[in-house]
């Protein structure tokens, strides 16, 4: 059992990121069993959920002529244009049916603002608009976080780096994550996490 000040943050284990989904991560569903097994070891458990309106600016479909996975410039910087995924209220946005959701203390939804994407569980992609997770964890007395889920090189990595910047002791359990690996993005994310002081276990 982890100490009471250590939280488990489970990132985006949703149908659209699992095989058959709109933005499927290879072996995305393989994270479910290890995450389920881990949950009882943590006093504080948080689930994050990508939760986009259909007109979200990060969807390639909302940019005429743009191909999925191409890049565009947003007011907050470069942005990957994704296939339409995790649209609010759809089956694709739902948690994987085998994931244990009952033990979670909090479900935090991100990416619900149409004009800005949100990879991190802590901040929107402008790196300044908070999701509220930091305040919740601090109110619970949390000082250390372990991150698991999808995808290693985007939402997990962004969340881990932000958590480290906010002063948490951060561990990423790599066996309970899977990556998209878009043009070397996994190696880059691993290097950035290590540089930020994140422990990769």
Question: Mind telling me the catalytic residues?
Answer: 12, 110, 155
CB burial of residue 192 (10 Å; 0-12, 13-18, 19+): middle
Measured distance CA(126)–CA(116) in Å, rounded: 8
Please count the other Cβ atoms lying within 10 Å of the Cβ belonging to residue 36. 16
Phi-psi region of 98 (alpha: psi -120 to 50; beta: other; left: phi over 0): alpha
**Residue ranges with strand state E in 36-92:** 44-50, 71-74, 77-80
24 phi/psi in degrees, rounded to 5: -70, 135
Measured distance CA(62)–CA(107) in Å, rounded: 27
3-class DSSP assignment, residue 190? helix
3-class DSSP assignment, residue 165? helix
């Amino acid at each position: 059992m982890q100490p009471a000040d250590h939280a488990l943050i489970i990132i985006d284990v949703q149908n659209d990121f699992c095989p058959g989904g709109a933005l499927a991560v290879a072996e995305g569903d393989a994270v479910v069993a290890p995450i389920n097994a881990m949950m009882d070891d943590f006093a504080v458990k948080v689930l994050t959920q990508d939760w986009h309106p259909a007109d979200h600016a990060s969807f390639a479909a909302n940019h005429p002529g743009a191909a999925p996975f191409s890049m565009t410039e947003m007011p907050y910087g470069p942005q990957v244009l994704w296939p339409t995924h995790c649209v609010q209220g759809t089956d694709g946005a739902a948690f994987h049916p085998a994931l244990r959701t009952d033990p979670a203390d909090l479900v935090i939804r991100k990416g619900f603002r149409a004009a800005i994407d949100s990879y991190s569980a802590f901040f929107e992609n402008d790196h300044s608009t908070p999701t509220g997770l930091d305040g919740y964890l601090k109110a619970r007395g949390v000082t250390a976080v372990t991150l698991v889920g999808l995808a290693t090189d985007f939402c997990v990595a962004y969340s881990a780096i932000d958590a480290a910047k906010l002063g948490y002791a951060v561990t990423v359990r790599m066996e309970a994550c899977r990556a998209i690996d878009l043009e070397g993005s996994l190696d880059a994310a691993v290097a950035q996490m290590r540089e930020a002081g994140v422990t990769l276990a």
